[in-house]
Amino acid sequence: MSDYQVIIVGGGVAGLSCAIYTGQAGLRTLVIDKGESQLLKVKQIRNYPGLSPETSGEEWMHTARAQAESAGVDFLSTQVERLVLDRRPYEVTDQSGKVYTSEFIVLSVNLGFDLLENHGINLGINRHVPSKKIRYVEHANVEGVTGVPGVYVAGLLAHVPSQTVIAAGQGTFVGVQIASEALGRPYMWHD
Ligand SMILES: Cc1cc2nc3c(=O)[nH]c(=O)nc-3n(C[C@H](O)[C@H](O)[C@H](O)COP(=O)(O)OP(=O)(O)OC[C@H]3O[C@@H](n4cnc5c(N)ncnc54)[C@H](O)[C@@H]3O)c2cc1C
């Protein structure tokens, strides 16, 4: 049996959004994150529908992490160094050399795209972001589907525009897709 059903590499906006849903669906989920979300730089998120414009990026991250934790998600604060994506269960190795196995992998590293380049994953420049500093994973679609079964891409790497609400929504969509696939029925969370 693999260590986890879902490992999310990169717990920024999209990774946390995904984790809240896979955790709530009852899937054993691990988020590995090195603490460098772009959102941490934002003093006020004024363009997230329904969110108080006083909310800072740090507050958003804190609340989303608490939601994921209360859904049973595990967290590891470190950098992922190595991925094995050519056999299932997939493997993720952290900075200390510890290896974790999982049936599903979500790649949501945004600016940490060197990890993907080092593993031969082809990237392009995200044309929705004027700075040209943001990448996307070629061969993945906006749903985050990569063509490798069980391996998804989330957030700006899925070639979406740079708004937080879009990254969160796309990450949520990935979480719902994984939950549906793992449970064998369309997953829906309505309170
Ligand atoms: C200066 C600035 C201002 C912004 N202002 C706004 C705004 O006002 N409104 C708005 O809607 N959006 C704003 N944004 C955009 C917003 O921050 C992004 O849309 C959002 O963060 C993208 O989410 P993401 O999950 O794709 O990436 P991120 O949130 O950046 O998350 C990526 C995560 O991957 C982790 N990671 C990377 N590599 C590794 C690795 N090897 N191992 C482990 N973890 C790894 C990082 O620690 C990070 O937490 C702003 C961005 C910047 C830079």
Q: How far is the CA of 84 from the centre of ligand 1 (A)?
A: 24
Contacts of 14 (CB under 8 A, 6+ apart): 108, 110, 154, 155, 156, 158, 167, 168, 170, 171, 174
Cα–Cα distance, 54 to 173 (Å, whole number)? 26
Ligand 1 mutation pick, 45, 95, 110, 165, max ligand atoms within 8 A of CB: 110
Query: pLDDT tens across 60-115, in order?
Result: 999 999 999 999 999 999 999 999 999 999 999 999 999 999 999 999 999 999 99
Backbone angles phi, psi at 188, to 5 degrees: -135, 135
What does the pLDDT average to over 44-56?
Answer: 98
The pLDDT of residue 32 is 98
Looking at ligand 1, which residue's alpha carbon is closest to its atom 53? 38
Query: Any idea where the domains of the chain sit in the sequence?
Result: 4-183
Ligand 1 mutation pick, 40, 41, 163, 164, max ligand atoms within 8 A of CB: 164
Whether 56 and 45 have beta carbons less than 8 Å apart is answered as yes
In total, the chain counts a number of residues equal to: 191
96: its two tokens: 């200390």
98: its two tokens: 């510890």
Cα 67 from chain centre: 15
Q: What is residue 173's DSSP assignment?
A: H
Mean pLDDT of the chain: 97
Buried b or exposed e, range 28-63, using 16+ CB within 10 angstroms: bbbbbbbeebbbeebeebeeeeebeeebebeebbee
Please state the atom number of ligand 1 nearest to the C-alpha of residue 165: 11
Whether 119 and 80 have beta carbons less than 8 Å apart is answered as no
Q: How far is the CA of 33 from the centre of ligand 1 (A)?
A: 12
The proportion of the chain whose per-residue pLDDT surpasses 70, expressed as a percent, equals: 100
Cα–Cα distance, 93 to 125 (Å, whole number)? 27
The pLDDT of residue 190 is 96
Domain 4-183 coded CATH 3.40.50.970: no
Residue 149 has pLDDT above 90, yes or no: yes
CB of 34 sitting under 6 A from ligand 1? yes
Alpha carbon separation from 49 to 53, 106, 115, 188 (Å, rounded): 9, 26, 32, 22
The pLDDT of residue 16 is 99
Identity at 12, one-letter amino acid code: G
CB of 144 sitting under 6 A from ligand 1? no
The pLDDT of residue 1 is 87
- pTM for the structure as a whole: 0.98
